Amino acid sequence: MEGAVKLGKVLVTSAWPYINVIPHLGNLVGSVLSADVAARYYRLRGDDVLLVSGSDEHGTPIEVEALRQGITPKELTDRNHTRVAELFKKWAISFDNYTRTESPVHREFVQETLMKIYRNGYIFSQETQMLYCENDQRFLPDRFVEGKCPYCGYERARGDQCDMCGRLLETTLLIEPRCVICGNSPAIKTTRHWYIDLSRFAEPLTNYIKNNQQLPLNAKNFSLNWIKEGLKPRAVTRDVAWGIPAPFPGAEGKTIYVWVEAVLGYVSATIEYCRRIGKPEKWREFWFDKSAITLYFVGKDNIPFHTIILPALLLATGEDYNLPWNVSATEFLQFKGAKASKSQRIGIWIDEALELFPADYWRFFLMATRPETKDTNFSWAFFIEKINADLNDTLGNFIHRTLSFINTRFNSEIPQPQKLTSEDEAVIQSIQDKVKELIHEFDAARLQSAANTLISMGRVGNQYLNEKEPWNLIKSDQERAASILYVAAQIVKAIAVASAPLMPSIAEQLWQTLKLPGSVHTSKWDEALTPLTVGHKIAKAAPLFRKIETDEKKLDETLTKLRDTMTKHA
RNA sequence: AGCGGGGUGGGGUAGCCAGGAUUAACCCGCUGGGCUCAUAACCCAGAGAUCAGUAGUUCAAAUCUACUCCCCGCUACCA
């Protein structure tokens, strides 16, 4: 059997979380979680899948946060990386490699690749003027400078934009500028930086984006527009101590811009994984084999880094890398109408969420509300609705009424059906159609629809049982009742497989209740449509979900309390 | 300001890029009915939307075009 089917290569990646803080649900939904759902789906399809990502840990905001806490940047990111990696495990994110930008493999790969691009003549250096804080001995990115807006007089305008009047600013125009870190007035200082000349890739990038059939509309339009407006050279170096040293001649003391290294991390993480499993050359299958699929899950704020910067870097190596096959870009998950903000306590963080409800509840909910075409809004009311009505009442109840019926009336054995009627066949057909629908949705990264389709399988089951009333038939026509439950049991099995990408532990629990061999996660998608054998004994069913009995107000209070105790421990 | 995305029954969403094979779909809620196997869960029927507005293209527009209003994001050194 082995080797009979050529497996598809699928590299699934997620934008690298920037770990100055723990991610919130909005960070998770479009990137890491979506990537995991997709990866789990492709594994079930039988593809050779690699899910990689890592912590993005360099740059000014990390340095500043470390300074605030009185520790070194490395101490900060060691701690946060460990914490975030643990949390992703609890969220059941099935990374093959969750690495970090401090990884030696990554550092070496970034430096080598940039030197390659440099030797190919796409990188030049140029002097520029930047604000410098003498007190902190640090160059200040625009957003680390505040001052009075020259247009509206707002006292806390940032160096790049005034939040009050919305105007874009030249940092040097700020009245009474001050360093956000220490409050002193910054000076203007000349410095040299290295730039990649993106404009030289305008044509290949345009062709690539136009011809990419998978790319969602938001990513496509945004990217084409960027190119149309004219690609400008982009600095690949920063005057920051905490980062990967720039390898260019004369660039001593400079580090690589975090986004440039983060996107190259997709490659380095693949290399690192393949070395670890003892197949150091295997990474090329994912990055150069033209039949391989590379799938990126990102939030809309970093579309250009994946549709323009990364492809440009890959093209600039001259090595025929695979460019992103799809960049699934989500809009934002808002919280009660506002953007998540740690300081204003708006939002829910991924550590807190798990203290309140099981990971699978969140996973399902987040996919069901995944902001695929527009921003969506988190509210407890909607969360409760999804968990109670969809998971518990529709899906969970169907599974439970079916299995417990088999437990009590058929001695926990899959009953022997008679010849199935056309109505029975129609229901089975309907479930097969749902499974096919799921395949289309997962293939197109339409994960929100997939969550709905999964629930609709429960609806089909509930309708079927209500219509056939096996609880009455069992009194008059035991054999007919047996047929009904046989069919219902097949639907349950299909649900067990189909729910695996979205709710891995619930799916596994169901798989074990059905007493099927091994794990649902090592089985195959086709199992969804393979019937349970007659006489097969199942375990005693227990409800898979519990209804949420509290209300919005109580949940908010619980969260606030939780937050206070967690802060104390931190 | 420029650019991108969005505005769809009371609430939440899909459909729009490739206009019509639908009476504008789905979930929640609401009204009425049914069922009692199941976690007071389930099922059926019904009310409720001229798809932000205006003008246009077309035999045909939620879908394409133009303009207007409102919300979100980005604007290249925040990451």
For residue A262, what pLDDT band results from cuts at 50, 70 and 90?
Answer: very high
From the CA of A334 to the C1' of B20: give the distance in Å: 37
Task: Enumerate domains of chain A plus CATH numbers.
Answer: 9-119+202-212+257-330 (3.40.50.620), 123-196 (2.170.220.10), 361-529 (1.10.730.10)
CA distances A254 to A74, A101, A125, A156, A294, Å, are: 18, 16, 12, 30, 31
Query: Which tens digits make up the pLDDT trace of A507-522?
Result: 999 999 999 999 999 9
Q: Is A378 helix (H, G, I), strand (E, B) or coil?
A: strand
State residue A344's pLDDT score: 76
Burial class (CB in 10 A: 0-12, 13-18, 19+), A207: exposed
CA of A389 to C1' of B27 (A): 9
The pLDDT confidence band at residue A51, using thresholds 50, 70 and 90, is very high
* Minimum mean pLDDT range among A70-79, A141-150, A474-483: A141-150
| Residue A569 clears pLDDT 60, i.e. is over it | no
pLDDT surpassing 80 at residue A150: no
Between CA A363 and C1' B45 the distance (Å) reads 34
Q: Given this model, what pLDDT does residue A564 score?
A: 86
Rg (CA), chain A: 27
CA of A243 to C1' of B14 (A): 44
A289-331: pLDDT as tens digits? 999 999 999 988 888 999 999 999 999 999 999 999 999 999 8
Q: Express each pLDDT in A80-97 by its tens digit.
A: 999 999 999 999 999 999
Mean pLDDT along residues A153-162 = 76
Q: Which nucleotides of B are covered by protein (CB under 7 A)?
A: 1, 3-7, 11-17, 26-29, 34-39, 41-44, 72-79
Report in angstroms the alpha-carbon separations of A213 from A278, A300, A343: 35, 18, 40
Q: The tokens 């070395």 sit on which residue?
A: A275
Return the higher-pLDDT residue of A176 and A568: A176
Residue A550: pLDDT over 80: yes
Task: Output the distance from A450 CA to B26 C1' rounded to whole Å.
Answer: 13
Nearest residue to B7 via alpha carbon and C1': A374
First-residue to last-residue Cα distance in chain A: 52
Among A230-234, A245-249, A358-362, A470-474, the range scoring the smallest mean pLDDT is A230-234
Nucleotide with minimal C1' distance from the CA of A59 is B79
Q: What percent of chain A has pLDDT over 70?
A: 98
Query: Model ipTM?
Result: 0.94
Closest C1' nucleotide to A215's CA: B17
Using the C1' atom of nucleotide B34, identify the protein residue whose alpha carbon is closest: A466
Region A205-213 average pLDDT: 86
Q: What pLDDT score does A3 carry?
A: 35
- The residue whose CA lies nearest the C1' of nucleotide B38 is A401
Task: Supply the mean pLDDT for chain A.
Answer: 92
pLDDT at residue A6 in the model: 55
A74 within 8 A of A35, measured Cβ to Cβ = no
**Range list of β-strands (E), A370-435:** 376-378
pLDDT at A352 over 60: yes
Which one is predicted more confidently, A216 or A456? Answer: A456
Q: With bands split at pLDDT 50, 70 and 90, how would you rate the model's confidence at A570?
A: low
Lowest pLDDT segment from A131-145, A184-198, A376-390, A486-500: A131-145
The predicted model gives A22-50 an average pLDDT of 95
The least confident of A241-250, A262-271, A330-339, A404-413 is A330-339
Scanning every strand, the nucleotide with its C1' closest to A56's CA turns out to be B79
Task: State the nearest residue by CA to the C1' of B12.
Answer: A382
Q: What's the pLDDT band for A530 if we cut at 50, 70, 90?
A: very high
- The answer to whether residue A73 scores a pLDDT higher than 50 is yes
Helix, strand, coil content of chain A in percent (nearest 5): 50, 15, 35
Identify the residue whose Cα has the smallest distance to the C1' of B11. Answer: A382
Mean pLDDT across the stretch A386-398?
96
Average pLDDT over residues A519-536: 96
A52, A99 in Cβ contact below 8 A? Answer: yes
Give the per-residue pLDDT at A1: 31
pLDDT at A4: 37
Proportion of chain A above pLDDT 90, given as a percent: 72
pLDDT at A213 exceeding the cut of 50: yes
